[in-house]
Structure 1
Amino acid sequence: MKLRVNHNKVRPGTYKAMAAMEQYTSSLFEDKVLYELLKIRVSQINGCAFCLDMHAKELLKLGDYADHILLLSVWREVPLFTEKERVMLELVEAVTRISEQGVPAGLYDRVREHFDEGEYVDLIAAVNTISSWNRLAIATGMYPGCF
């Protein structure tokens, strides 16, 4: 594997702008486990090895979440995840794959049982932020350990 472009060297302003969005989005989440699960799931869907590696390691720093990482792609099949995590993951998948069916009304209603309006917007912002990082990493050829 070969890194195509070091985006930070070529366009440091792009990195700075994205890092500012990441910092803002991160500040919205008191529950860092939930935030890392979100970033891992989006990175799985988007196929970003660099971000998947980074956020799995970040989640492990927060505690014993190895099973969560190993089973995240099949979260519907296991009782490991809380109801709040499950509805968040369902929303994350819908927003990441927004062109397929949007966010169905029933899903929105289930999300609102666990998250207020502001938190709903925070979840969407977090999906958008990690999706942007995923696209930048994939398009520039980033992979775990490339730096």
Structure 2
Amino acid sequence: MKARMNPFAAAPALMKEMLDFSGKVQGSGLEANLLELVKIRASQINGCAFCIHMHTRDARAHGETDERIFLLNAWRESPLYTDRERAALAWTEALTLVSQTHAPDADYTAMRAHFSEEESVKLTLMIGVINTWNRISIGFQSIHPVTSRSEAA
């Protein structure tokens, strides 16, 4: 696999704006672990290897366990996630698949039971941000780092 282009080289000013906005949303006050779970889950749905690689490492750096990361794709069947995390993950799935789900009232209601209005906006912005990054990385075929030759195809 070969990258199609480097968007940071092609449009550096806009990509810097995207990085800056992402950093502001990341630092908006929601729990870092929760945001990493959201980013991983959206990236799993979208099939973004670059982002899954990045955010699983970031989650571990924030103290997330391998078990919770490995089971994230099946979070509904696992008791390892809090009600707040479940609400965020359901909202993540609803918005990531918005053309199919149309953001159902049930998912919104469940999310709002655990997030204030301000937190709901912050969470929704993070879901939008990671979906944008997924589209950039998938569209331009960004390649995640490979730490050894044995890991490369």
The change in CA–CA distance for 1:67 and 1:61 in structure 2 (over 3 A counts) is same
Gaps of 5+ in 1: none
After superposition, where does 1:48-59 map in structure 2 within 5 Å?
Answer: 48-59=48-59
Q: Indicate the residue corresponding to 2:32 in structure 1.
A: 32
User: Identity over the aligned pairs, expressed in percent?
Assistant: 38
1:102 is aligned to 102
Q: How many residues align?
A: 146
Q: Do the aligned partners of 2:38 and 2:127 also contact (CA within 8 Å) in 1?
A: yes
- Match in the other structure for 1:42: 42
| Distance change >3 Å, CA 6–CA 26, structure 1 → 2 | same
Matches within 5 A, 1:52-91: 52-91=52-91
Q: Does 1:11 align with 2:20?
A: no
Displacement of 1:142 in angstroms is: 0.6
Q: Give the distance between the partners of 1:92 and 1:22, measured in 2 at CA.
A: 16
Q: Which residue of 1 is the match for residue 111 of structure 2? A: 111
In 2, Cα distance between equivalents of 1:109 and 1:19: 31
Does structure 2 conserve the Cα–Cα contact (< 8 Å) formed by 1:7 and 1:140?
yes
Structure 1 counterpart SS, 2:50: helix
Equivalent in the alignment of 2:139: 139
| 1:132 aligned partner, one-letter code | T
Could you tell me whether the CA contact under 8 Å between 1:29 and 1:35 is conserved in 2?
no
Q: Distance in 1 between matches of 2:127 and 2:101?
A: 16
**Structure 2 residue matching 1:63: 3-state secondary structure:** coil
Question: TM-score, normalised to structure 2's length?
Answer: 0.91
The Cα shift of 1:121 comes to: 1.1
SS at match of 1:3: coil
Measured in 2, the distance between the counterparts of 1:77 and 1:107 equals 17
SS at 1:103 equivalent: coil
The one-letter amino acid of 1:35's match is L
